[in-house]
Amino acid sequence: MSKKRLSSYIINFVIVLAVFVVLQLLISNGVISRYYGRIINLICINTILAVSLNLSTGFLGQLVLGHAGFMAVGAYFAALITLNSGDSSAALFPVALIVGGITAAIIGLLIGIPALRLQGDYLAIITLGFGEIIRVIFNNLPVFGGAKGLNGIASHTTFAWVYVLAIITIFVCYTLIKSKNGRLIVTIREDEIASTASGVNTTYIKLFAFVLSAFFAGIAGALYAHQVGVISPDKFDFNYSIEILVMVVLGGMGSVTGSVIAAIVLTILPEALRSFSDYRMLLYSGVLVVMMLFKPLGLLGQVELSLSGAAKAIKRRFSRGKAQTPPAQEE
């Protein structure tokens, strides 16, 4: 690893750690109310969903319309573990998170093996059908609570959990895209036929990205279930998959930082417009239409922002301004 990249990682880590410490102190001391704390948690959960979907839809170029289905799998299986563990549910929460992610990844593997042989609209239709099948299964099996869903789920999701897991998701996806396999993922998006002709195992690469995307969606579902305390099949419908997809499109298909920014904006915006309850969805839709008209590639397109780069730019600007300040003249 070069010194420049190592320096960048260190600066990013320090900034991320500083943000965590500040927010954690504000939440712990009650400066940030419980309501706003839950919004921050939801921002982190939506960040995990948007970044993971961007991996399969933005970077890989495969339109997936069933991301909420993977989230539902993680939410239900993680909830069942803590609900059936009694007083030890808090100790088993990390296990529930892992089980939720792995279960979603296994389902993603089973769906991806036949589905990823298709492209375009055909893949979108299959993933859409998968999302609806998952919802119907949870809606009809008594073990999953049927139409009423599951309630009484312990509130184990804290800011520390969602923040750390969101950072891990961003780091893994960003590092993957900058790696050899990541370049192969982007190559498949640009020209799958040429990639196959060049000897790239496109099936393996597509399946790997798809399963990893499903894994993080399952983690997000597990966090969500232990935040709201009540889950039902209706929450994870087609509309929710579209909401996640909108975050990816708005931020930029092929930009991790774009997905993060879009997740923040599209989580805060509905809450900010809550006082205009009669017109909230109209204003929300209008903002999206305007964005697509004037920024069709999304907020960032395929551009990535760097915390270390921003810090260095601020430092250069401050140094330049300090150097241009004339010295005080003595009388």
The structural domains of the chain, with segments of one domain joined by +, span 48-236
- Its pTM stands at 0.87
User: HEC profile for 185-243?
Assistant: HHHHHHCHHHHHHCCCCHHHHHHHHHHHHHHHHHHHHHHHHHHHCCECHHHHCHHHHHH
Q: Residue 18: which pLDDT band, with cuts at 50, 70 and 90?
A: very high
Crossing angle of helices 120-140 and 93-115, in 10° steps, is 140
Mean pLDDT for 142-154 is 88
Mean pLDDT for 4-14 is 78
Q: Which segment of 114-118, 180-184, 259-263 scores lowest on mean pLDDT?
A: 114-118
Highest-pLDDT range among 97-111, 129-143, 303-317: 97-111
Q: What pLDDT sits at residue 296?
A: 73
Q: What is the pLDDT of residues 85-106, one digit of tens each?
A: 876 677 889 999 999 999 999 9
- Quick check: 231 pLDDT over 80? yes
Q: What pLDDT sits at residue 240?
A: 87
Q: Which two tokens stand for residue 183?
A: 């370049």
Q: What are phi and psi of 150, to 5 degrees?
A: -115, 135
Q: What is the pLDDT of residues 261-312, one digit of tens each?
A: 999 988 988 887 777 666 666 766 776 687 778 877 777 776 676 655 555 5
Q: Which residues pair with 231 in a beta bridge?
A: 150
pLDDT > 90: percent of the chain: 35
Nearest CA to 100 out of 190, 1, 231 is that of 231
Q: What is the pLDDT of residues 34-53, one digit of tens each?
A: 989 999 999 999 999 999 99
Q: What pLDDT sits at residue 21?
A: 94
Q: What pLDDT sits at residue 50?
A: 94
Mean pLDDT for 238-267 is 88
- Quick check: 113 pLDDT over 90? no
The whole-chain average pLDDT of the chain stands at: 84
Q: Residue 24: which pLDDT band, with cuts at 50, 70 and 90?
A: very high
Q: What pLDDT sits at residue 88?
A: 67
- Quick check: 248 pLDDT over 80? yes
